[in-house]
Amino acid sequence: MMMTQDTATLTRSNTTAIKDVPQVARKLVTEIPGPRSRALMEEHTQYVCPGVGSAMPVFAESASGSVITDVDGNRFLDLAAGIAVTGVGNAAPEVVAAVQAEVTKMTHTNFATTPYAGYVEVCKKLSEHTPGSFAKKSVLLNSGAEAVENAVKIARRYTGRPTVIVMDNAFHGRTNLTMAMTTKSSPYKRGFGPFAPDVVSAPYSYPLRDGFGQDGVAAAKASIERMELLVGHGDIAAIIAEPVQGEGGFIVPANGFLKTLYDWAHGHGIVFISDEIQAGFCRTGKWFASEYFDVEPDLITTAKALGGGMPISAVTGRAEIMDAVQPGGVGGTYGGNPVSCAAAMASIGIMEREDLPARAAHIGEVVHERFGTLSSRFDCVADVRGLGAMQAIEFVKPGTTEPDADIVSRIVSAVRAAGLVILTCGISGNVIRLLPPLVISDEELGEGLDVLEAAIAECSAR
């Protein structure tokens, strides 16, 4: 929306300056970065591969709930949860206690050598909480990318077909197969090829930009047409989709899109995989985001929030599909490590007891109430979207639909300097995303939103 001079002035004068937002959860006691962080950054530069970026110039020393304290004693308010990992809060006491108890009992055996109960318990919980009342089985792994790789292996084994369909703007990981399955070239793929074959990309529903708006069925038909043209259904092993795209820009597909793809896949013996590594485990206001779209995935990949901060991932699927794998066909040295399983059980226990899906839905309402009017107030805001505690703001050059990554980097620098841990996303880097721990208090969330709103007002006023 174009603003008149008067409304622009009104908007600005109504908004507190960033520096005037009271520091309650946050507490900055040195310049940012402080002297200890600066000294560590020199060593980082000398010893750490520069390919591993660090968005924040400060080094964490400890964390609790939604607050991260750096080595100089500055407190930061966490609106990223380590990329959707610490949903139950950082160093959640039950997770810490479970890890401590398990690690004194055993550190590792390898489940395929000497099994232990924790692994089976986590698989049972995965069966209970993932969508669909049919019989399910799981395999546990270490990272999201490893879960995606295994889901593709299982789908190929079950169908005997080669091709995997991915969605435009998808992110599935950084290993060779998952790089092939990821859209964005730089930084993820450039110079790292050749990539795994038999991966084909089809359009996703992107209501703001795809021309179909909220007509998800029409968007799905166009996508299916593409799959038939480029591959033909008889060669497709699986379609994999993030039910809310994460790195791609927190894109929520229009209603009917996923369901149409899912029904078409089932009509042709194609396995439907939901990658819920970022959107799963309560983040969107339901246990799994597929539940919003009337889809019961054949396979579902999870990681991140499952372990409450410890590395663990899973593929969970219909028993008849999982049963297609020959003994020894999936696994690995560390997958489902007993300490990570203990952390996962504690983390799932907190989600159940605290009803974190409801909490995530509440966070979504608070953010929407605060930010729902941003696109009418600021020309640079094209969209405020998301489900539950997975919310984002997409920025464009005023008066156009051209993505504006510059304003995003200015806003993000300003709020990070003011003590927020926050992330961007979007294929063009023009989206700010909010992924707070689900246990964040209303006061903490309010403080974070005040800082962000002030930064948007200050940066768009130029």
Q: Minimum distance from CB of 244 to ligand PLZ (Å)?
A: 9
Which CB atom, from 54 or from 109, has the smaller least distance to ligand PLZ?
Answer: 54
Q: Minimum distance from CB of 299 to ligand PLZ (Å)?
A: 13
Q: Minimum distance from CB of 250 to ligand PLZ (Å)?
A: 11
Which CB atom, from 78 or from 275, has the smaller least distance to ligand PLZ?
Answer: 275
Q: Which residues, at least 6 apart from 185, have a Cβ–Cβ distance to it below 8 Å?
A: none
> Which residue has the CB atom at the shortest distance from ligand PLZ?
144
Tokens of 258: 């996923």
Q: Which residues, at least 6 apart from 376, have a Cβ–Cβ distance to it below 8 Å?
A: 1
Sequence-ordered alpha helix ranges (H) in 238-353? 257-267, 319-322, 338-353
Q: Minimum distance from CB of 290 to ligand PLZ (Å)?
A: 13
Tokens of 432: 């700010």
Q: By the criterion CB under 6 A, which residues form the site for ligand PLZ?
A: 83, 143-145, 148, 171-174, 242, 246-247, 275, 277-278, 303
Which CB atom, from 303 or from 363, has the smaller least distance to ligand PLZ?
Answer: 303
Which CB atom, from 247 or from 447, has the smaller least distance to ligand PLZ?
Answer: 247
Q: What is the rounded distance in angstroms from the CA atom of residue 391 to the CA atom of residue 209?
A: 18
Q: What is the rounded distance in angstroms from the CA atom of residue 70 to the CA atom of residue 445?
A: 20
Q: What is the rounded distance in angstroms from the CA atom of residue 318 to the CA atom of residue 320?
A: 6
Report helix, strand or coil for 383. Answer: strand
Q: What is the rounded distance in angstroms from the CA atom of residue 387 to the CA atom of residue 382?
A: 17
317, 304 contact by CB (below 8 A) = no
Tokens of 10: 């009104």
Report helix, strand or coil for 61. Answer: strand
Report helix, strand or coil for 243. Answer: coil
Q: Minimum distance from CB of 181 to ligand PLZ (Å)?
A: 9
Q: Minimum distance from CB of 83 to ligand PLZ (Å)?
A: 5
Dihedral sign of CA atoms 215, 218, 222, 224 in order: positive
Q: Minimum distance from CB of 71 to ligand PLZ (Å)?
A: 23
Which CB atom, from 375 or from 424, has the smaller least distance to ligand PLZ?
Answer: 424
Which CB atom, from 273 or from 455, has the smaller least distance to ligand PLZ?
Answer: 273
Which CB atom, from 167 or from 445, has the smaller least distance to ligand PLZ?
Answer: 167
